[in-house]
Amino acid sequence: MGDDIKLRVSKIEKSFPGVKALDKIDFTVRKGTVHALCGENGAGKSTLMKIINGIYKPDAGEIFIDGQPVRIKDPIKARSLGIAMIAQELNYVPEMSVEENIFLGRLPVDKLGRVKWKEVREKTVKLLQEEHLPYKPTDKLKMLTTSDIQMLEIMKAISNDASIIVMDEPTSSITQKEVELLFKKIEILKAKGCAIIYISHKMDEVFRIADDITVFRDGTVVKSMQAKDTNIDEVIALMVGRRMENVYPKEEIEIGEPLLEVEGLKSGQLFEDVSFHVGKGEIVGFAGLVGAGRTEVMRTLFGLEHIDAGKVKVHGKELSIKRVSDSTKAGMVMLSEDRRRYGIIPMRSVRENASLSSLEKFFYGGFAHRKEEEKTVAKYFEKMSVKTPSQETPIQSLSGGNQQKVLLAKWMMRDPEVMILDEPTRGIDVGAKFEIYKLMTEVAQAGKAVVMVSSELPELIGMCDRIYVMNQGHIAGELKREEFSQEAIMVYATGTHSIIQE
Amino acid sequence: MKKYLAAFMALAMAATALTGCGGGETATDETSGDVYKVAYIARAQSDSFAAWLANEMVAAAEEYPDIELTVFDGQADDAKENSAIENAIANGFDAVIVQPNNGEAQRPYVEQVVAAGLVAITTNSRIADIEGASSVDADPYKQAQVNAELALEQVPENAKVVVLNGPSGNFHADERRVAWQEVFFDARPDVTIVGEDYANWNKDEAMALMEDWTIAHGDIDAVISMNDNMAAGALEVVKDNDMYDDLLVYGVDGTAEACLLIEEGRMTSTCLQSAIDLAALNLETVHKLLTGEETQIDTDIAEVLITQDNAAEYVEMYRERGQITD
Amino acid sequence: MKNSKASQLMTKYSIFFVLLVMIIISTLMNPNFLSGRNLTNIAVQLAVGTILAYGEMVLIVSGLLDLSSGAVLALAGVLSVSVYKTTGNLLLAIIVSLVVAIIFNMINAFFVANFAMPAFIVTLATQMAARGLALLYTSGQNILQIGSYAKLGQGKLGPIPIPVIFMIIATIVIAYIMNHTKLGRSFYAIGGNEEASIASGINVVKSKYLAFLINGVLVGIAGVLFMARVNAGLPNGAVGYEMEGLTAAIVGGTSFSGGVGTTSGTLIGSFIIGCLNNIMNLKGVDSYIQQVVKGCIIVAAVLYDTRFKNKKAPKVILQKKDENKEDTEKKEEAPAAKA
């Protein structure tokens, strides 16, 4: 058994001002296996990974690779030890080309220090062809979709001859097809003897590929076990410290007359002829592959893209939507899929972020009413169970799940009639997910309309009353609750439905 | 959006066309074969003396029907001034008059003018010792000297004085300061300089310095300034303060403001650097050189000391030019 | 725990402490420094620069900036002086300065907000244009004999010089806008994340126009005060004043990446630079050396500020945990005691 162990960490401790992030962590990763780390956001998984990758220095403890103690002082050292990391949050330079990105920090040079661009080009072309990515090596990253960039990051890491690969939420922004591709890659890497640390909130994925599972909670290891000896319910219970009764708190709500009606909506080349409706108390899902136009429809509806044709009605009244304030005044709100780009004002306080869309409530009579603002924010934070050191903490210091909850609080403050949620649970932990589902249910119970765009089919199936499936800028199909199945959705989403019918 | 942009571009282009395609002003319109084309490269239109000189150059050129003068703006930038000289060489001018932004930086370009076989003149301030080039200037040393000689008699014993300098490295600024040193300070060891700094010819910078100096040193007997702008700045600070009623203030340039201040008895003296005289002498010189009357000339305009005795005369001159009103 | 409270205080008011230390050192170096006359003197010298710094602060917070303020100040100022000379109407003269400065800032706003051009480029262009127009209009000559116009820059209301009164009013108004209006809040949001602000329903184009409008009013006032103080219309005056304003804002903790900056910080930043100039002049330090020292101080102030600010925001993730651990932490004040 001893020879099997690739990586061992022993009694690792790490504190940040005010928080003990890791407390005496022990765990081991075996060669040729996938070791999944589970835990809610803030449990310490990412901190540990950053220590292994040399980004943070541990306060105490030791790391062994192949039985030898190592000191990983920076990411360069980590790379030389064969450690590769695929980060959860994509950090990339939009103006950088595909080939520059792939070889970032390891450009091959000749004796004179000149970059061997020819070699770079050849290798990039080969890699792109192997992965069936339809890009040129000179394409700028800003031209790629998020999921393609994620794939690129994964390819980059594993083309690096690493023996320890850390994947932090690698599937959070890639399509199902690409997930399958990734899993095939992982199998190949396992066969080559690589040790893979896999962090994910998606339990089905974890149980598909993991050999071992370690559960973190509040900076400690709760339990390490072999995947075959446990099950999803146990892992979730260990993560949250209690047993979760029902993952999807779906309630039977009587659906009233249409609240939101969209007819023949079109915006540029993004999508056309999109018609749908959402009734009072109804939760409607939008499924489809990444790039099918779901996000674009929602953005257009919300006033962020130009409307070329079509009608939007709320409570039967037609709206003229030119900018976001037109739709918010009509009672619409939208949680964007890209939290960092369209959601948070990173350096400003959680209070300011939360009140940003309801400023008229706190600024009247010529002055700011700070006390009222704090009280209202506190009320919604409690309702959303936002965990933050104070209202003045910059939002960038919070975990992804808490940021998302602050943004939800911001929109709930407007008391919305129509709530559009675009990938509301992406990259957040099980506990926060459950709270968001509960909130959706509450909103629906109050007779409002909820629209949820998601790439996670189980949550769409679990939460929605109806699902529209989009494919290449069109609505390809509509499914009622009794027709729901992953297969039915995929048939529409991949455009094979029309072929089957013919 | 594009429509607006196109309209804007068109407007900008029309404006450029109306103002003469950025070339500068041309003094004479008729272009016959016997006309000499003279380029005047001004240091900067943003420098009030340089702007005045440029205007006077155009006016002086009117007197010479066989000279066509074009003014180019060096925009107080060596690179721009140098390329303006190169353009003048390339564009078939017969003579190039250069008012350097920074003497040494323009030297090789003036040498190029000479090498191209054209008449080259440096003016205000001259670049000395260029083989084959001529120069027309006011002598900055003498301009300061006439003031310093007056100060020798006027400044009381054991006086406390402050000195306002022009930008370091500027020929006129440095020469004027040297004259004050040699004529005045070396002869008056009893005088103490309590404050000395660069105010870069600027009124507002001189004001800030003077404000701080009056606080730091209290009584000050004389302000020795290398130009009138800075002298006026110093006076601005103390004008309502009885303590400084006897303050002696010396400048150079003979600006309209200085003439007024001298006439009112608030400023002591200045030396006129007359742009009118300088322009006239420049045109006279370039004409002599172009007609082959002479091949090399180095000449200076006479310096005129302005004190309360003769200030009215110069106030009248500025009144005629419209710079002073009643 | 006490230590951390003191350091929290230090962090929050870090820039204020810098000023305090500077005042103490200055007083030790020259007892005249703290005299009422010298303090008034510093305030008068700072007034124009501080007013411009507020404009820059508002713009930088909104993710913009203005390189044209010095030149627009000069153009607005000479036109104002010249209108006063021909009409003798002071109010009209002030209005002219305001209108000219506002027009230029609306031009800036038009290209920045409607065409998404970088503020750096647009305002660089208007800087050149404004300076050129000022020189063209005056033929490069100073406008003299401006009469009682100068009172606006040199006069006093009671014991307080008029420019200082304008500076105080500007401080109050800008602090009010930044803290007590929706507009102020949207400036912070836009500068922090423009796309998120749009998606939150903020009218970004309108806010950018208003940011430039505020700057225009400030530049217009500064134009009057500057020309009145120097008792002349100087078409080539106030060169580089935009940089003084930017410097004061940055030293005062305004973040160049947008979204962060305060009125009080800017005021203090302006005073830090003003005191530095003043004490060095009082001590007779050569102005070229002063420039070097100022450069060093700017880097030091900003470095100090960013170091503290970065530490200010630890990655605190769970509040509950924070509370639970507080007791144990008190006992374990010494870090790594267990190791």
Let me know if residue C336 belongs to a domain: no
Where residue B19 falls among pLDDT bands split at 50, 70, 90? very low
Which residue carries 């994925």 as its tokens? A205
Higher pLDDT: C309 or B213? It is B213
Q: CATH number for the domain including C115? A: 1.10.3470
Which structure tokens are listed for A441?
């249910």
A330: helix, strand or coil: coil
The answer to whether the bond into B125 is cis (omega within 30° of 0) is yes
Rounded to an integer, the average pLDDT of C245-262 is: 89
CA distance to partner chain A, nearest, from residue C328 (Å)? 11
Rounded to an integer, the average pLDDT of C91-99 is: 96
Where residue B295 falls among pLDDT bands split at 50, 70, 90? confident
C260 part of contact set with chain A, CB < 8 Å: yes
At a CB cut-off of 8 Å and minimum separation 6, what does C67 contact?
Answer: C120, C123, C124, C127, C242
Helix (H) or strand (E) holding C119: helix C119-138
C40 part of contact set with chain B, CB < 8 Å: no
How many Å from the N-terminal Cα to the C-terminal Cα in chain A? 57
Q: Fill in the amino acid letter for C10.
A: M
Rounded to an integer, the average pLDDT of A444-458 is: 90
Q: Nearest by CB to C196, which of A59, A344, A360? A: A344
How does DSSP classify residue C143? B
CB C203 within 8 A of CB C87: no
Rounded Cα distance, C164 and C51, in Å: 10
Q: Is the pLDDT of residue C204 over 90?
A: yes
How many domains does chain C fold into?
Answer: 1
Q: Nearest 5°: phi and psi at B225?
A: -115, 145
- What's the pLDDT at C336? 36
Rounded Cα distance, A177 and A192, in Å: 23
Q: Do chains B and A touch (3 or more CB pairs under 8 A)?
A: no
The Cα-based distances of B160 to B27, B189, B192, B193 in angstroms read 50, 11, 5, 6
- What's the pLDDT at B31? 44
Q: Which of A209, A207, A205, A211 is nearest to A234 (CA)?
A: A207
- What's the pLDDT at A24? 87
Let me know if residue C337 belongs to a domain: no
Is residue C22 left, alpha or beta, with left meaning phi > 0 and alpha meaning psi from -120 to 50?
Answer: alpha
What are the beta bridge partners of residue A22? A14
Where residue B33 falls among pLDDT bands split at 50, 70, 90? low
Q: C37, exposed or middle or buried, with CB in 10 Å at 0-12, 13-18, 19+?
A: exposed
Rounded Cα distance, A428 and A430, in Å: 7
- What's the pLDDT at A14? 86
Q: Which residues of C touch A378 (CB under 8 A)?
A: none
- What's the pLDDT at C315? 37
Where residue C67 falls among pLDDT bands split at 50, 70, 90? very high
Q: Nearest by CB to C198, which of A21, A324, A393? A: A324
**Mean of all residue pLDDT scores within chain B:** 86
Q: Which of C230, C238, C247, C246 is nearest to C131 (CA)?
A: C238
Q: Which of B272, B283, B253 is nearest to B121 (CA)?
A: B283
Q: Is the pLDDT of residue B27 over 60?
A: no
- What's the pLDDT at B5? 56
At a CB cut-off of 8 Å and minimum separation 6, what does A480 contact?
Answer: A465, A466
- What's the pLDDT at A434? 86
User: Helix, strand, coil proportions of chain A in percent (round to 5)?
Assistant: 40, 25, 35
Q: Do chains C and A touch (3 or more CB pairs under 8 A)?
A: yes
Higher pLDDT: B228 or C7? It is B228
Question: Given CA atoms B16, B17, B23, B24 in this order, what sign does their dihedral have?
Answer: negative
B136: helix, strand or coil: strand
- What's the pLDDT at B18? 47
Q: Nearest by CB to C203, which of A21, A325, A388? A: A325
Which of the residue ranges A167-176, B32-41, B104-113 would you say has the lowest mean pLDDT?
Answer: A167-176
Under an 8 A CB cutoff, do C325 and A60 touch?
no
Where residue C326 falls among pLDDT bands split at 50, 70, 90? very low
B86: helix, strand or coil: helix
One CATH from 3.10.450.40, 3.40.1800.10, 3.40.50.300, 3.30.310.80 for A253-331+420-432+453-502:
3.40.50.300
Q: Nearest by CB to A387, which of C202, C318, C336? A: C318
DSSP states of A405-421: HHHHHHHHTT--SEEEE
Q: Which residues of C touch A402 (CB under 8 A)?
A: 317
- What's the pLDDT at B211? 92
- What's the pLDDT at A444? 93
Let me know if residue C153 belongs to a domain: yes
The Cα-based distances of C79 to B21, C89, C136 in angstroms read 26, 13, 11
Q: Is the pLDDT of residue C325 over 60?
A: no
Domain span including residue C208: 2-331
Strand order from edge to edge, sheet including B134-137: B67-73, B36-42, B95-98, B119-123, B134-137, B298-300
Q: Which residues of C touch B213 (CB under 8 A)?
A: 281
C319 part of contact set with chain A, CB < 8 Å: yes
Q: Which of A83, A29, A19 is nearest to A51 (CA)?
A: A83
Rounded Cα distance, B155 and B157, in Å: 7
Q: A259, exposed or middle or buried, with CB in 10 Å at 0-12, 13-18, 19+?
A: buried
- What's the pLDDT at A308? 92
Q: Which of A317, A308, A241 is nearest to A269 (CA)?
A: A308
Q: What is chain A's Cα-based Rg?
A: 24
Rounded Cα distance, A303 and C199, in Å: 8
CATH topology of domain B2-137+275-295: Rossmann fold (3.40.50)
Q: Nearest 5°: phi and psi at A290?
A: -60, 135
A2-240: CATH number = 3.40.50.300
Which structure tokens are listed for A169?
């939420």
Under an 8 A CB cutoff, do C196 and A343 touch?
yes
Under an 8 A CB cutoff, do C316 and A17 touch?
yes
Q: Which of C294, C266, C298 is nearest to C278 (CA)?
A: C294
Q: Which of C41, C4, C13, C22 is nearest to C160 (CA)?
A: C41
Rounded to an integer, the average pLDDT of C125-133 is: 94
State the ipTM, two decimals. Answer: 0.82
Is residue C113 left, alpha or beta, with left meaning phi > 0 and alpha meaning psi from -120 to 50?
Answer: alpha
- What's the pLDDT at C322? 36
Rounded to an integer, the average pLDDT of C85-100 is: 95
Let me know if residue C43 belongs to a domain: yes
Q: Nearest 5°: phi and psi at A65?
A: -120, 125
Rounded to an integer, the average pLDDT of A152-158 is: 74
Domain ranges within chain B, ordered by starting residue = 2-137+275-295, 140-272+308-321
Which of the residue ranges A81-90, A381-390, C227-236 would you say has the lowest mean pLDDT?
Answer: A81-90
CB C211 within 8 A of CB C184: no
**Mean of all residue pLDDT scores within chain A:** 85
CB A344 within 8 A of CB C196: yes
Higher pLDDT: A160 or C124? It is C124
CB A297 within 8 A of CB A413: no
How does DSSP classify residue B253? B
Rounded to an integer, the average pLDDT of A371-381 is: 94
- What's the pLDDT at C314? 38
Q: Which residues of C touch B5 (CB under 8 A)?
A: 115
Query: pLDDT per residue over A266-284, tens digit each?
Result: 998 889 999 999 999 999 9
CA distance to partner chain C, nearest, from residue B129 (Å)? 30
Query: pLDDT per residue over C140-186, tens digit each?
Result: 788 888 889 999 998 888 889 999 999 999 999 999 999 999 999 99
**Domain pair B2-137+275-295 / B140-272+308-321, same fold:** yes
CB C262 within 8 A of CB C15: no
Kindly list the partner chains of chain A, i.e. chains with 3 or more CB atom pairs below 8 Å: C
At a CB cut-off of 8 Å and minimum separation 6, what does B22 contact?
Answer: B16
How does DSSP classify residue A366? T
Q: Which residues of B touch C141 (CB under 8 A)?
A: 48, 51-52, 256, 323
Where residue C305 falls among pLDDT bands split at 50, 70, 90? low
The Cα-based distances of A136 to A94, A103, A130, C59 in angstroms read 15, 15, 13, 40
B257 part of contact set with chain C, CB < 8 Å: yes
What are the beta bridge partners of residue A478? A468
β-strands B192-198, B160-165 pairing: parallel
Q: Which residues of B touch C144 (CB under 8 A)?
A: 256-257, 260, 323-324
Higher pLDDT: A187 or B250? It is B250
Query: pLDDT per residue over B186-217, tens digit each?
Result: 999 999 999 999 998 889 999 999 999 998 88
- What's the pLDDT at A364? 92
Q: Where in chain A is the domain with CATH 3.40.50.300?
A: 2-240, 253-331+420-432+453-502
C248: helix, strand or coil: helix
CA distance to partner chain C, nearest, from residue A299 (Å)? 9
Which structure tokens are listed for A270?
């993004």
DSSP states of A134-151: ---TT-BGGGS-HHHHHH
Where residue A223 falls among pLDDT bands split at 50, 70, 90? confident
Q: What is chain C's Cα-based Rg?
A: 22
Q: Is the pLDDT of residue C329 over 50?
A: no
Helices (H), B224-310: 228-238, 256-263, 275-290
Under an 8 A CB cutoff, do C196 and A42 touch?
no
Where residue A463 falls among pLDDT bands split at 50, 70, 90? very high
Extract the runs of DSSP E, i.e. beta strands, from A126-219. Answer: 164-168, 195-199, 212-217
How does DSSP classify residue B324? S
Rounded Cα distance, A313 and A311, in Å: 7
Domain B140-272+308-321 is of which CATH architecture? Answer: 3-Layer(aba) Sandwich (3.40)
Rounded to an integer, the average pLDDT of A44-66 is: 87
By C-alpha distance, the chain C residue nearest B209 is C281
β-strands A220-226, A212-217 pairing: antiparallel
